[in-house]
Amino acid sequence: MTLFIISILIFVGVEALPGDLTEAVLGQSATPETVAAFRKELKLDLPPHIRYLSWLGGIVRGEFGNSLANGRPIADLIGWRIGNSLFLAATTAAIAVPLSILLGIVAALYRNSFFDRAISMVTLSTISFPEFFVAYILIALLSVQLIIFPSISNINAQMPFLEKIHAIVLPCLTLTLVVVAHMMRQTRAAIINILASPFIEMAKLKGLKKTRIVIFHAFPNALSPVINVVAVNLAYLVAGVVIVEVVFVFPGLGQLLVDSVSKRDIPVVQASGLIFASVYITLNLLADMLSIISNPRLRNPK
């Protein structure tokens, strides 16, 4: 139902774009006959609800149509690009998730210490800057000054795995700096909240070490909010990397979306938006399921 509503919003949003699509694609020098023929080819002469149902029926059958820019099937254009975006997101998640959880546990363990304040200040500073600003700073430092990593993360299927990793270091580092703060602070807050529970007091009275209490007693009981914040940030890594992909010219779905908007390639824009929404909804649904599994009390609120 959520995807159905989002599909309506995407279609209505595209319909509300100013200007005539056919004139934008063919150019102002196109004759009225050419414009009319092109509108008929794109089914723009049909009522909006008929075109929406036709587009939705094609999506259900797995047929996204053809691109207006090059005439290729949209499924072929999206296929390898969404694979690149998932590769970038998975690599970033493999670094950001363990790092943020570790920093959150240590910050909760040494609450109000110099380390806690320092790591909070650093992570809040990185999340306060927009992604493109962090990206350009990293390019200036690690690509221009030190010349360690490439400033353009162009990868293809023929590249070896390690070469791909080297090419995406800067976008991965940019995304890591952006998402670590949120996950780290949520982990810290969840653990500190659990530390005020009676069973933690009992563990202290038994003489257990603080490290053992935090790692083996507090953290497992704080998994539910931690899973939620991790899933939200993973959804951002997949669906919110448009700016980062554009900055580093990364051949992902976000770059394709921006290119399609500039070319008025409406079918590709609609398909990309629906795919982003599907990934975001799926990850949030998965987060709810994992939260219930990790916290049995959520299965029966009574």
Look at residue 36 and tell me whether its pLDDT is greater than 80.
Answer: no
* CB-CB contact of 215 with 131 (8 Å): no
- Find the range with the poorest average confidence among 106-120, 252-266, 286-300: 286-300
Helix axes 131-139, 169-195, angle to 10 degrees: 130
- Rounded distance between C-alpha atoms, residue 68 and residue 23, angstroms: 13
Look at residue 180 and tell me whether its pLDDT is greater than 70.
Answer: yes
- Rounded distance between C-alpha atoms, residue 230 and residue 239, angstroms: 14
Query: What's the number of CA atoms in the CB half-sphere (13 Å) around residue 212?
Result: 6
* CB-CB contact of 52 with 266 (8 Å): no
Task: State the chain's mean pLDDT as an integer.
Answer: 83
Q: What is the pLDDT of residues 241-270, one digit of tens each?
A: 888 888 998 888 888 888 888 777 888 888
So what's the pLDDT on residue 170? 92
Measured over the CA atoms of residue 212, residue 217, residue 219 and residue 220, the dihedral's sign is positive
So what's the pLDDT on residue 225? 81
Q: What is the pLDDT of residues 45-95, one digit of tens each?
A: 778 888 888 888 888 887 887 887 777 888 888 888 888 888 998 899 999
In 3-state terms the chain splits into helix, strand, coil percentages (rounded to 5) of 75, 0, 25
Residue 216: Cβ within 10 Å count: 12
Could you tell me where the DSSP H helices lie in 16-158?
21-26, 32-41, 48-60, 74-109, 114-128, 131-139
What average pLDDT does this structure show over 171-182?
88
What pTM was computed for the model?
0.82
What is residue 143's DSSP assignment? I
Domain with CATH 1.10.3720.10 in the chain: 74-299
Residue 294: Cβ within 10 Å count: 16
* CB-CB contact of 165 with 90 (8 Å): no
In angstroms, the Cα distances linking 80 to 61, 87, 190 are: 20, 10, 38
Q: Which CATH number fits domain 74-299: 1.10.3720.10, 1.20.58.2030, 3.30.300.160, 3.90.1150.10?
A: 1.10.3720.10
Percent of the chain with pLDDT over 70: 93
- Rounded distance between C-alpha atoms, residue 234 and residue 284, angstroms: 9
Look at residue 192 and tell me whether its pLDDT is greater than 70.
Answer: yes
Closest CA to 257 of 248, 247, 267: 267
Q: What is the pLDDT of residues 131-158, one digit of tens each?
A: 888 899 999 999 888 888 888 888 887 8
Closest CA to 238 of 85, 135, 132: 85
* CB-CB contact of 214 with 195 (8 Å): yes
In terms of Cβ atoms closer than 10 Å to its own Cβ (0-12, 13-18, 19+), residue 135 is buried
So what's the pLDDT on residue 14? 80
So what's the pLDDT on residue 153? 86
Identity of residue 268: V
- Find the range with the poorest average confidence among 37-46, 186-195, 275-284: 37-46
What average pLDDT does this structure show over 181-198?
85
Q: How close are the terminal C-alpha atoms of the chain, in Å?
A: 28
So what's the pLDDT on residue 172? 92
Look at residue 302 and tell me whether its pLDDT is greater than 60.
Answer: no
Query: What's the number of CA atoms in the CB half-sphere (13 Å) around residue 300?
Result: 2
- Rounded distance between C-alpha atoms, residue 291 and residue 285, angstroms: 10
So what's the pLDDT on residue 154? 85
